[in-house]
Structure 1
Amino acid sequence: MVKKCKMKRCENVKQSVILRTDGELYSALNQKNNYSSETKQCIEQTVEKLMSETTDCNRPGMLLGKIQSGKTRTFIGIAGLAFDNGYEVAIVLTKGTRALAKQTYERLSDEFADQQELDALQVFDIMTLPSNLTNYELNQKLMIVVKKEKNNMNRLHEALFKRYPQLQQKRTLLIDDEADFASFGFTKTKSEILEINVIAGQIDTIRKQLTQASFLQVTATPYSLYLQPATLQKGNVRFQPIKPAFTSLVPVPDSYIGSEYYFKKSRERRSIAAYLYEPIAEEELVVLKKQDRRRFKLEEALHSRRIRSLRSAFLHFIVGGVIRRLQCRDEGKRQEKYSFIIHTEMAKKAHEWQEEIALEIKQQLTEAAETDALYLTKLVEEAYCNIVASLSLTERPVPSFERVKFEAIYALAQDHVMITKVNSERDVNELLDRSGQLKLRVPLNIFIGGQILDRGITVSNLIGFYYGRNPRTFQQDTVLQHSRMFGYRPLEDVAVTRFYTTEAIYAVMEKIHEFDTALRRALHKGHGKNGVVFIQRDQSEQLIPCSPNKIVLSNITTLKPYKRMLPVGFQTRYKTYMTQPMRMLDQAIKKVEQGDTPVLIDYRMARQIVDHIAETFDGEAGNPWDVTAFLSCLEYLAQHVPKRDKGKVWLIIRRGRNMGRMRQQTGRFEDAPDTPSSKNSELRIAREIGDQHPVLILTEQQGSEDKGWRGSRFWWPILVAQRATPPIVFTSATMNDE
């Protein structure tokens, strides 16, 4: 009996395509991975588009996912389905490290193990591709893994066009994993010019020489691809930028823990996410750069305030890991091994110094069990109470403190805690398991490293991340790729997870999350065409469109419907300097105030009030307030309203508040002066009236010293964007047109 093939006709494409979805390779992958209906739809639609649309060097297909969200699994499914529909060769271009190339090779070999046994398909690394492949082998489906590095790319070129020229004629799928990493990137130089990545040129050459090639780029950080100018010029060579022909979005299930969880849900006070972030002092990162006994003495590792957060992170990791292992033991389940990453510097000397500190903390904790049991109990108890506060929200039984303390001391004494420095490819290759992931050798594993941990390396069961890279050098794709704490996590693991970084870095990462969200929303709705408004203020103080490729990510403000903008972490001036600006401010407010009733006022009056408020803040103390961005966004929002009310802003005034500068529960800066406990909060009102107009909320604060202020009354402003706001990115960085 002849099996009837399941076919799927592609509609609304340039060419009519009949897609076979029950072929041997795709069916086997589907059975092995149990793809969701959403994932199958993504895979099948992507292959339809690759087969029906032209994807050349200037307009590749794009598979857009999130960090550690299942992009690899999805593109493997795409490759399998493509093989079942006429493709004969798949070339997978990986990120530029041997470790990541090995990880990809091992993953592909595992996924297609049965087909390799049946001689239906072969998987090769370009560096070990045999020099004497037979026609029998060349007639099988071939997958070639190539690290994006000059010599590897040269080997690929030689294999395709010299050693095995018959491959040049075969229908080929090029898959560029982490496409932004090797495509036309943006390198900041003195003249702000665009520099072209050499690897991209090699990829481009190979794509052009293949007779039948489809090109798919895979990334979670597509900014250098979507935010490019029309052309790129480098010397006498003119390059056409890469612009996606289509974008397929990898479905992300609810179990995924990403930037939304860390930077939005964390604002919900009764959420587990509210306990994730633990701030660290800027000075601590200085201590961790290099040894300097004037700042910190190694023998004081267990008591010095200079490394308080690192020590706390160390203990939280041990206690959190012990609790999870005890929970698994009590439930008769396998006890997992857990990991913690310290990633603050690129320099190897810094890693060596941090390793010394971590080893000293471990040694002194172990000795304290005998010499200073009371102090050790205090440290363990602090971590235990902190973790129990979040873990209790899971409604799972929590082991008693005495059990946890005993297991923590036992783990230290019996070498169940391992500290590993990872800062070279050789180190990583020695540490990889058979699947290409960092191997967890003991129950509690601490990894200290730099760039090698930036991209793609999978670290399982990560419940601690100590991060300290300089925000002034942040690039959006790089920062998100650093975020190894993203991925699929059991809720119980999330409850014991802690993320350590400075307030400044956290603020930049939050901005990047907002920018990322705005861009993805635009891509989802309009495929990136005019979906995000980019604006800046020029030298004549006018708001003008901004070329998106000039965006400096640490100087952006992203707006969307009902987005709040407000200063956080600021400090007021001293009483002596507050009298005059507060008098001017009170007079301006009284001119428009109508009790608790919202009032529609002119933008210029709102700007005058905000200018006066800015004079009451101390720019040298606390976090700086970007007043320019606040006012520019206020102006833009006020101008984009119905014509009859153009330039108008809703104003809500509330008096008699006494919010603290810090939250007692978490130790973070207060960021919600507009959300008191009452149901009729001003934020709720702002959302009700802010359909077409922005809303400016002013809350009068007493500024008490016992609340962390300087004992003087002040006004705290909050801007709420109207519901009809398109995605907007404003940059306050100085631009030039070179």
Structure 2
Amino acid sequence: MKDTLLEKAFYEKNPHIEENPKILLEIEEAINKPGLDSILLKGHVQSGKTSTYILLAARSMDKNYDGCITFTKNANDILNQTKSRFLSTFETVEDNLTVIDINENLEDLTKYELNQNIIIVAKKQTNDFEKINKLFDKYPFLQEKRFLVVDDESDWGSNGYNKSAEKEEDYFKKICKELLDLRKRLINSKYLSVTATPLSLFFANYWMIRPHAIFLLPPHKKYLGAEELFLSEEKTMRRICENFVEEKEFEAIVNADINNIDFCKELPQLTKAVFDFILGGLLLKQEKHYSMLIHIDTTRKGHAKQKETIKSLIAVLKQELNNGHPETVAKLYKSYDEITTALDYTKYSFEEVKSLAIQALEEQVKVTLMNSDSKKSVKLDSNGNIKNPVPFSIFIGAFAVDRGVTFNNMISFVFGRDSKIANMDSSLQQLRILGARPKEDLPVTRIYCTKKTLKKWKEFTRIDVEFNKNIELLLESNKLASKTDLSNQLNYLVPSTKMEGVRLCAPQKIDTSLKQFEAYSRLLPKGFLPNKDKQKLVMENTQLIEKYKLIYPVIEFEKDHYIEVPTEAAVKLLMNSYNAIYSDEVNLLNLLEQSLFFLKWLKKENGDKVLIYYKYNRNRKLIRKNGKYDDAPDSGKKGDYAYAKKIGIDHPVLMMLHQSGEQTDGIPFYWPVLMLPKNMPFNITGRTLN
């Protein structure tokens, strides 16, 4: 075993990083198992995922890995930021590493260099994949080595589908296929998927894309997250969020006639945002360089117009404050009063801060565009973050300022980008205000958006929090279902939303149809046959039902009855039922896994109670006259499902429908039908199981 040289270098560079030893060990155990499956590291937006995978790379290369290949979003800013973080982390041990720049000449690499630990950082771009493949073509022994392949922002570009493709080889889009082919080529390597928004990955049909294992990275102590920001009723958080802007003002920012506009009247919240930003930085005890991000329009033309408007606003505010314009001075005083109240201390008098604000507006504010036209105008600091060159840096952009970009000391976020349909993954990634934020900065931190936008952020956060809470239940359900004789692959269920104008992710990122589980939804096996070798389990279920009638409450209702049992009693019946059937046509494991998840989840949310409704000695045909499998053993106006809907208000109903075997060569079985209750805490989305 090698020493811990690279890990030591990491901690020398990052002495204050919070280590999560349990997560690190669990991921290391997963990546050390052979196979081409996908391991997912899910962290919150800007919660330290990059540092974590660099640490994992260091520890892996110290032990038994030969290198790390990291793929970033197809943006030079992100590529340079990630490269910078790797290089600065390992600068003290650079003689022990070979950092390969795929854009340079690869002809002169020596065997000595290639036998060291190798680091490659590339974009998810066709040209970069071609260059990496040329590297392995020229030095074929490299592909036998063990690389940790890190896919940063793995739900971006890594799962694209041509659903109308006629040929199988054309099904995956270019970048997705390039990445899959590279993974198959590096047979001894392991793939680590990293993102804060993996929803589209969960719904993938293809096993190499859908995560085989998932690890949730806990946020560090300094982290300001969406849950704290949007779901808390705490006064500071509401002060940050509730600075509402009318949609017409955002439209005016992009379409303003700067030579004929009263900024204070026509752009009141933008004016307030600029004043709050500058006064916030001036009034904080610690003097730093602060950043403000404006994300309104997606077009380069729109960005240029915003820059023109902001620069004109700054010039007008400076002039009006100098001239003592009453309305402008009053607006500045309002910001001063709100910020000093929030800080609970006064660093400067209003006259002093007015003078400093005029100086800042004149000398210390810089407006910078971040888009494809301005690649060289944005500089990075030694940590690979966006550098604030002046005390008050205002950045304007859209696609270039979301995924993976980190802004230092951000205390202002203006978001006015309106989408007819908002995708949860994109919306959360746009929240660059999240991340390591000093507590002392929070009283002056502000978000400016519409009420509709804040409502969507709250809904998406609610879903994300609920899913994170349910990961353990999903893993438990998978583990329990895998004890049956069925095959094993983790299946994901994600809380969904009833809100109009929002969805979990763009449809082109999903290669399967989705199923909504809501009030009265049923989960039942279809397309199966009874297993004659498992008749003991069928008899055991009958004995269990009779036992439950004696020890648990039996409720009479409408000339019938049901049993109220604890969840684990229902789980036992369900497990036996699925283990006594088999199918070559459907994935019974995922059906069982889904059913187990819902039982455990509803126990947590609605209480430890399941209603058992049972019938003995039915003679329903499994296969109909038309040759199709029956899929509604509980049908009929006055059938089992109709009865279950009457009793299943707050708790799930498990219908145990015993079939005598008369229609199945004398082999009896239980047909388990799980119905979800009327009062569901959330709707749930999952893949349609074929």
- Specify if TM > 0.5: yes
Q: How far did residue 516 of structure 1 move?
A: 1.0
Indicate if the aligned counterparts of 2:467 and 2:494 stay in contact, CA closer than 8 A: no
Confirm or deny that 1:320 pairs with 2:280.
yes
Q: How far did residue 55 of structure 1 move?
A: 4.1
Q: How far did residue 407 of structure 1 move?
A: 1.2
Find the counterpart in structure 1 of residue 310 from structure 2. Answer: 358
Q: Deviations over 1:241-289 (max 9, x none)?
A: 6121222222212321010122111x23x34544433111011122233
Q: How far did residue 641 of structure 1 move?
A: 9.2
Q: Deviations over 1:124-151 (max 9, x none)?
A: 3322364310111111111001111110
* Cα distance between partner residues in 2 of 1:250 and 1:441: 32
Q: How far did residue 383 of structure 1 move?
A: 1.0
TM-score normalised according to structure 1 size:
0.64
Structure with higher RCO (Cα < 8 A, 6+ apart): 2
Q: 1:397 to 1:287 in 2, by over 3 A?
A: closer
Q: 1:374 to 1:64 in 2, by over 3 A?
A: same
The letter for the 2-side match of 1:475 is: N
Indicate if the aligned counterparts of 2:263 and 2:271 stay in contact, CA closer than 8 A: yes
* Cα distance between partner residues in 2 of 1:102 and 1:369: 41
Find the counterpart in structure 2 of residue 77 from structure 1. Answer: 55
Find the counterpart in structure 1 of residue 392 from structure 2. Answer: 444
Find the counterpart in structure 2 of residue 302 from structure 1. Answer: 263
Indicate if the aligned counterparts of 2:47 and 2:436 stay in contact, CA closer than 8 A: yes
The letter for the 2-side match of 1:176 is: D
Confirm or deny that 1:461 pairs with 2:409.
yes
Indicate if the aligned counterparts of 1:67 and 1:220 stay in contact, CA closer than 8 A: yes
* Cα distance between partner residues in 2 of 1:187 and 1:503: 37
* Cα distance between partner residues in 2 of 1:470 and 1:308: 19
Q: How far did residue 290 of structure 1 move?
A: 3.2
Q: 1:377 to 1:365 in 2, by over 3 A?
A: same
Indicate if the aligned counterparts of 1:90 and 1:143 stay in contact, CA closer than 8 A: yes
* Cα distance between partner residues in 2 of 1:428 and 1:337: 20
Find the counterpart in structure 2 of residue 506 from structure 1. Answer: 454
2:356 to 402, 407, 410: 407
Corresponding pairs, count? 521
Find the counterpart in structure 1 of residue 141 from structure 2. Answer: 166
Q: 1:70 to 1:536 in 2, by over 3 A?
A: closer
Indicate if the aligned counterparts of 2:322 and 2:358 stay in contact, CA closer than 8 A: no
The letter for the 2-side match of 1:304 is: K
* Cα distance between partner residues in 2 of 1:552 and 1:379: 53
Indicate if the aligned counterparts of 1:391 and 1:398 stay in contact, CA closer than 8 A: no
| 3-state SS of paired residue (2:264) | coil
Q: How far did residue 187 of structure 1 move?
A: 9.5
Q: 1:65 to 1:428 in 2, by over 3 A?
A: farther
Alignment map for 1:618-697 (pairs within 5 Å): 693=650
Alignment map for 1:39-78 (pairs within 5 Å): 39-51=20-32, 53-56=33-36, 59-78=37-56
* Cα distance between partner residues in 1 of 2:265 and 2:512: 41
Find the counterpart in structure 2 of residue 341 from structure 1. Answer: 293
Find the counterpart in structure 1 of residue 556 from structure 2. Answer: none
Q: 1:246 to 1:312 in 2, by over 3 A?
A: same
The letter for the 2-side match of 1:54 is: P
Find the counterpart in structure 1 of residue 180 from structure 2. Answer: 204
Find the counterpart in structure 2 of residue 491 from structure 1. Answer: 439
Indicate if the aligned counterparts of 1:97 and 1:425 stay in contact, CA closer than 8 A: no
Indicate if the aligned counterparts of 1:533 and 1:726 stay in contact, CA closer than 8 A: no
Q: 1:249 to 1:641 in 2, by over 3 A?
A: closer
Q: How far did residue 558 of structure 1 move?
A: 11
Q: 1:501 to 1:550 in 2, by over 3 A?
A: farther
Indicate if the aligned counterparts of 1:533 and 1:728 stay in contact, CA closer than 8 A: no
* Cα distance between partner residues in 2 of 1:485 and 1:21: 40
Indicate if the aligned counterparts of 1:105 and 1:124 stay in contact, CA closer than 8 A: no
Q: Deviations over 1:57-103 (max 9, x none)?
A: xx211111111111111101100111111111210111111111111
1:283 to 248, 257, 277: 248
| 3-state SS of paired residue (2:21) | helix
Q: Deviations over 1:551-571 (max 9, x none)?
A: 999xx9999xxxxxxxxxxxx
Q: How far did residue 440 of structure 1 move?
A: 1.0
* Cα distance between partner residues in 2 of 1:36 and 1:208: 34
| 3-state SS of paired residue (1:472) | coil
The letter for the 2-side match of 1:122 is: T
Indicate if the aligned counterparts of 2:264 and 2:328 stay in contact, CA closer than 8 A: no
Q: Deviations over 1:369-417 (max 9, x none)?
A: 332343332121111122233222xxx554432332221112123x111
2:154 to 179, 185, 189: 179
* Cα distance between partner residues in 2 of 1:218 and 1:195: 24
Deviates more, 1:178-187 or 1:481-490: 178-187
Indicate if the aligned counterparts of 1:463 and 1:497 stay in contact, CA closer than 8 A: yes
The letter for the 2-side match of 1:209 is: R
Q: How far did residue 54 of structure 1 move?
A: 3.4
Percentage of identical aligned residues: 29
The letter for the 2-side match of 1:497 is: T
Find the counterpart in structure 2 of residue 376 from structure 1. Answer: 328
Indicate if the aligned counterparts of 2:291 and 2:411 stay in contact, CA closer than 8 A: yes
Q: Deviations over 1:141-191 (max 9, x none)?
A: 11001111110111111112x1222211111111111111122147999xx
| 3-state SS of paired residue (1:122) | strand
* Cα distance between partner residues in 1 of 2:220 and 2:378: 33
The letter for the 1-side match of 2:358 is: I
| 3-state SS of paired residue (1:300) | coil
Deviates more, 1:279-288 or 1:78-87: 279-288
* Cα distance between partner residues in 1 of 2:447 and 2:162: 29
The letter for the 1-side match of 2:209 is: I
Q: Deviations over 1:658-678 (max 9, x none)?
A: xxxxxxxxxxxxxxxxxxxxx
* Cα distance between partner residues in 2 of 1:94 and 1:404: 43
The letter for the 1-side match of 2:280 is: G
1:424 to 365, 372, 388: 372
| 3-state SS of paired residue (1:492) | helix
| 3-state SS of paired residue (2:463) | helix
Q: How far did residue 523 of structure 1 move?
A: 1.7
Alignment map for 1:165-244 (pairs within 5 Å): 165-185=140-160, 196-228=172-204, 230=205, 240=207, 242-244=209-211
Q: How far did residue 114 of structure 1 move?
A: 1.3
* Cα distance between partner residues in 2 of 1:519 and 1:723: 19
Indicate if the aligned counterparts of 1:64 and 1:250 stay in contact, CA closer than 8 A: yes
2:92 to 111, 114, 119: 114
The letter for the 2-side match of 1:462 is: M
* Cα distance between partner residues in 2 of 1:551 and 1:464: 39
* Cα distance between partner residues in 2 of 1:531 and 1:214: 22
Q: 1:436 to 1:201 in 2, by over 3 A?
A: same
| 3-state SS of paired residue (1:217) | strand
Find the counterpart in structure 2 of residue 259 from structure 1. Answer: 226
Q: 1:275 to 1:220 in 2, by over 3 A?
A: closer
Q: 1:509 to 1:409 in 2, by over 3 A?
A: same
* Cα distance between partner residues in 2 of 1:531 and 1:135: 45
* Cα distance between partner residues in 2 of 1:449 and 1:31: 35
Find the counterpart in structure 2 of residue 565 from structure 1. Answer: none
Q: How far did residue 42 of structure 1 move?
A: 2.1
> Which structure 1 residue ranges, 5 or more long, are not aligned?
1-19, 232-239, 329-334, 538-547, 560-635, 647-691, 695-721
* Cα distance between partner residues in 1 of 2:688 and 2:56: 43
* Cα distance between partner residues in 1 of 2:120 and 2:188: 16
Indicate if the aligned counterparts of 2:368 and 2:396 stay in contact, CA closer than 8 A: yes
* Cα distance between partner residues in 1 of 2:59 and 2:229: 35
Which of these two proteins has the greater Rg computed from alpha carbons? 2
Q: 1:217 to 1:730 in 2, by over 3 A?
A: closer
| 3-state SS of paired residue (1:143) | strand
Q: Deviations over 1:306-340 (max 9, x none)?
A: x211111111111111112xx12xxxxxx210010
Indicate if the aligned counterparts of 2:45 and 2:196 stay in contact, CA closer than 8 A: yes
* Cα distance between partner residues in 2 of 1:114 and 1:376: 53
* Cα distance between partner residues in 2 of 1:511 and 1:187: 30
Deviates more, 1:435-444 or 1:124-133: 124-133
> Which structure 2 residue ranges, 5 or more long, are not aligned?
165-169, 479-489, 499-508, 520-601, 614-648, 652-675
